[in-house]
Structure 1
């Protein structure tokens, strides 16, 4: 009975509501970051694929630099360093900005690789049929590439959702942050809180992983 006491104390309606509030922040930050990073990453990946002089090499340098930096460092830089040059953001905005920058770099590489996986002969076929380069890319290359990109993109979105927990270092009031507040009240609350945190993350991420697996099956 003593072992179960912390569970009964932690698993209350008020605590569940508090955790759900934090999970709402987690999902909000993840959703906004996903949309922004997909748009920005798609643009960067496409520009790199097009191999535009000067532009593509510069973007490649930026992407490779960001991809080889720890996300935690980017979060710290966004929230603590940028204000030193006059760019101040509140916690949620800083978390979204940091995640967007990092995930845009990751997604741009996925998109560029997906575009490169399409046979070059299809570009020549499109051009020879009278389509411009942009039209060929839009109507022939991109639709085929997107089907191949979807599974790795979904997997990257799963990673993004998990990475939101790193923003706890700047006190983002997300799921992990609210969980810390609860288990800080008493040492015996740590295990019960961690169990419910793990379950909440698992449910959403597992659902996304099932979607990714189903999409992978469709591609084979």
Structure 2
């Protein structure tokens, strides 16, 4: 192993360049999948005749497919019907499609966790269904969604590495380029350790952010969880 050679300024710059692509693709996919996933989740929750069952079918099919298959389909199959995309666009599209279905289930679960009595009370006070959903149900459901949403976003960031199969110049692609180059096998462990460290730092920061958001938005629940954890440790 040659840590000094592997961590040369040129190699680190190349890794950081790949990591920048990873973060860019992940950020765009997170924003798009959150917006689309929220819409799909609300449509499933609303139980609209015909539309909701169709959305449910699409979500169930998508979330039970391997992400790597969706990536292959987006990059290799869609051009056959005239929808050719760049590597970056294909990766973002595939991740967005897959993660939207996951987030849709998180949103639907969060909405279902709110007691139905609140909807009835809001409707009886004169609020329309959309107003009830927007002002009463969604704000409460969001508090319950934060931990699983952040967990899904972390998974999305890690899943960007699967785009190496279509040669997206992300972190692992560039890492592979380094240890397949002049350094050879003596660079493999140092370079992969550095890549793992980069993933860990960002994902750990996201998990800290999730805990702080949960504590701020739902302090009672966070305090209860802390009490449970403390009790378990004492036992």
- TM-score of the superposition, structure 1-length normalised? 0.96
Tell me the secondary structure at the aligned position of residue 88 of structure 2: helix
After TM superposition, what 4+ stretches of structure 1 lie above 3 angstroms from structure 2?
Answer: 213-220
Indicate conservation of the 8 Å contact 2:143/2:214, yes or no: no
Deviations for 1:1-56, whole angstroms, at most 9, x for unmatched residues? xx5xx111111111111111100000000000000000000000001100000000
**79, 95, 98: which is aligned to 2:75?**
79
Indicate conservation of the 8 Å contact 2:161/2:171, yes or no: yes
5+ long unaligned stretches in structure 2: 223-235
The aligned counterpart of 1:105 is 101
The aligned counterpart of 1:192 is 190
1:209 Cα deviation (Å)?
A: 1.6
1:213 Cα deviation (Å)?
A: 3.3
The aligned counterpart of 2:29 is 33
Aligned length: 216
Instruction: Output the CA distance in 2 between the equivalents of 1:140 and 1:89.
Output: 41
Indicate conservation of the 8 Å contact 1:95/1:172, yes or no: yes
Indicate conservation of the 8 Å contact 1:152/1:212, yes or no: no
The aligned counterpart of 2:59 is 63
1:125 Cα deviation (Å)?
A: 0.5
5+ long unaligned stretches in structure 1: none
Instruction: Output the CA distance in 2 between the equivalents of 1:169 and 1:93.
Output: 14
What value does the CA root-mean-square deviation take over the aligned residues? 1.0
Indicate conservation of the 8 Å contact 1:168/1:174, yes or no: yes
